[in-house]
Amino acid sequence: MSSQKKRVGFAERFPHVLVLLFAIILLAALSTYIVTPGSYERVVVEGREVIDPVSYQVVERTPVGFFGVLKSIPQGLNEVGFIIFFIFIVGGAFGIISKTGAVDAGIASLTRILEGREKIIIPAIMGVFALGGSTLGMAEETLVFIPAMVPLAIALGFDSLTGVAVVLIGAGAGFAGAFMNPFTIGIAQGIAELPIFSGMGFRIGVWFVITGIAVAFVYRYAAKIKENPELSPMYEEDQKRSHSVDISEFDKLENHHKHVLAVVIIGFLILIWGVTQYGWYITEISALFLGIGIASGLIGKLGVNGTAESFVEGARDLTMAAIIVGVARAILVVLNDGNIIDTILFSVSNAIEGLPSYFSALGMYFFQSLLNIIVPSGSGQAALTMPIMSPLSDLVGVSRQTAVLAYQLGDGFTNIWSPTSGYFMAGLGLAGVGWEKWAKWFMPLLLIWLAAGGVLVTIAHLIQYGPF
């Protein structure tokens, strides 16, 4: 009873995630009155806009007032509208699939098959997502799996944190420790004038280290919850979920359930094919899941009206997740409007330039980690920082391959901790997990990852990690 009171008291005292985001926006706006505004010139290299590292100059101050803060939110919503509508469509599609009863029936069947061996699903699924994050740059694409993984984890005797963790941490580990992610490594190495995907041998080792740490962390936690479910920070919330976790109450797996699940599986195979062969992104994936939802509703005996009503209900449930994505984007809007992003880059690059090469490599790494909270886009951060970090690495005696590794790890770890990361916050919304609970639970892994990243960057520097 006392532990429940502590949990409730903490939830009441901790600010709502929108309050946290708005506070960060206000802090960013205040910074536009204090930080000297500046700007680098942008040039187009091979069709990509990058910074000219020697072009920084002070510009006229454009502070962001309170009305500008208010405007930043609808502007942020507008800039990430494609992700917001992606969330609504995926949520609607899963609302239809869930309404057919196929998910619950499938969970019950899988649970009986895995009885006594439930924990093997954790490394298996995390390994798949880690490969996806490493090779395909899976981030937003992972959101479609969360609504299925959370009830599965609960039914297997774990909790909702475990369900969302196998997806977000699995893909996040692969993304951070990637060996051939075209959206981070490919862009960064191209800007740094390195052969694309060079240095893969060392990066494969990095992937195993980062992914291994992640799997061990989640597996250990899941085993603890399996033994005593009340230890879960999400225990009370999971008891109230609409998904029943009493397997005996689940529907029997009928033929129409099997057909719905077959549609979903085929849909995921098409998703993998489209992403790998044709570079599908948000629009194509949204269209695919809209089709999966419609087909599932008709096959699952919901009828035309029932399918439409289930879609609306599923989309409505994700309104908060969609809003959070846009509000998080408003932080970057304010910093751009106040012309202080480039000043931050300029100041840090000057500070790093004066350090010994050993500390310069670590300085690059920790700077990229902090910057990722402000600029959570991997490709955007590469275009922003690598034109500066590449020549800087030459000056301080750090190999360009090490500079790319510092960017890659710095960009990856905080993606699934920072409230400014839109897809991550949307994932928590899909799972019904509050950011404050996730942040507290995830912090030990984040610290371990950051320490491991520092060691890996140091090793890369000591061996003069090169192009091949």
Residue 308 in this model has a pLDDT that exceeds 90: yes
User: What contacts 255, CB < 8 A, 6 or more positions away?
Assistant: none
Give per-residue pLDDT as tens, 437-446: 999 999 999 9
Q: Of 186, 206, 205, 204, whose CA–CA distance to 386 is shortest?
A: 186
> Is residue 428 a contact partner of residue 434, using CB atoms and an 8 Å limit?
yes
Q: What is the mean predicted confidence (pLDDT) over 446-465?
A: 95
User: Radius of gyration of the chain from Cα atoms?
Assistant: 23
Handedness of CA 16, 17, 18, 19 (dihedral sign): positive
Angle among Cα 212, 404, 47 to the nearest 5 degrees reads 125
* Separation of alpha carbons 137 and 141, rounded Å: 9
Contact call for residues 176 and 170 (beta carbons, < 8 A): no
- Please give the DSSP secondary-structure letter assigned to residue 125: H
Instruction: Specify burial of residue 303 (Cβ count, 10 A radius: 0-12, 13-18, 19+).
Output: exposed
Given a cut of 70, is residue 383 above it in pLDDT?
Answer: no
What's the pLDDT score for residue 144?
Answer: 72
Residue type, 19: V
Give the model's pLDDT for residue 380: 67
Of 224, 188, 225, the C-alpha closest to 203 is 188
Average the pLDDT over 347-357 and give the result.
77
Q: At residue 53, does pLDDT exceed 50? A: yes
- Residue with more model confidence, 310 or 142: 310
Q: 157 vs 1, which has greater pLDDT? A: 157
The tokens for 281 are 């992104």
Confidence of residue 9 (pLDDT cuts 50, 70, 90): very low
CA 94/CA 243 separation, integer angstroms: 13
Backbone φ and ψ of 215, nearest 5°: -65, -45
In tens, the pLDDT along 19-33 reads: 877 888 999 899 999
pLDDT confidence bin for 339, thresholds 50/70/90: very high
CA angle 7, 153, 234 (to 5 degrees): 5
3-state secondary structure 225-277: HHHCHHHCCCHHHHHCCCCCCCHHHCCCCCHHHHHHHHHHHHHHHHHHHHHHH
Question: Residue 176 is inside which H or E element, if any?
Answer: helix 160-176
Rounded-to-integer distance, Cα 142 and Cα 2, Å = 37
Tokens coding 14:
């901790």
Give the span between the Cα atoms of 220 and 461, in whole angstroms. 32
| CB burial of residue 23 (10 Å; 0-12, 13-18, 19+) | exposed
What confidence score (pLDDT) does residue 10 get?
38
pTM for the structure as a whole: 0.69
Residue 150 or residue 8, greater confidence: 150
Instruction: Give the SS3 label for residue 115.
Output: coil
- Is the per-residue pLDDT at 468 higher than 70? no
> Highest-confidence range of 213-227, 328-342, 350-364, by mean pLDDT?
213-227
- In angstroms, the CA 308 to CA 429 distance is 22
pLDDT grade for 15, boundaries at 50, 70 and 90: low
Residue 2 pLDDT: 40
The whole-number average pLDDT for the span 394-406 is 86
Range of weakest confidence among 26-35, 45-54, 169-178, 308-317: 45-54
Q: Report residue 272: phi and psi, to 5°.
A: -60, -45
User: Stretch 191-219: mean pLDDT, rounded?
Assistant: 91
Identify the three-state secondary structure at position 25: helix
pLDDT digits over 207-240, tens only?
Answer: 999 999 999 999 999 999 999 999 999 998 888 7
How far is C-alpha 168 from the geometric centre of its chain's CA atoms? 6
Cα angle, residue 252 at apex, residues 246 and 258 outer, rounded to 5°: 120
| Res 310 pLDDT > 80 | yes
CB 257 within 8 A of CB 251: yes
Q: Which residues of 88-111 are buried (b: 16+ CB within 10 A; e: fewer)?
A: bbbbbbbbbbbbbbbbbbbbbbbb
Residues 6 or more apart whose Cβ sits within 8 Å of residue 274: 280, 284, 285, 288
CB 128 within 8 A of CB 134: no
For the packed helices 400-413 and 160-176, what is the interaxial angle rounded to 10 degrees? 170
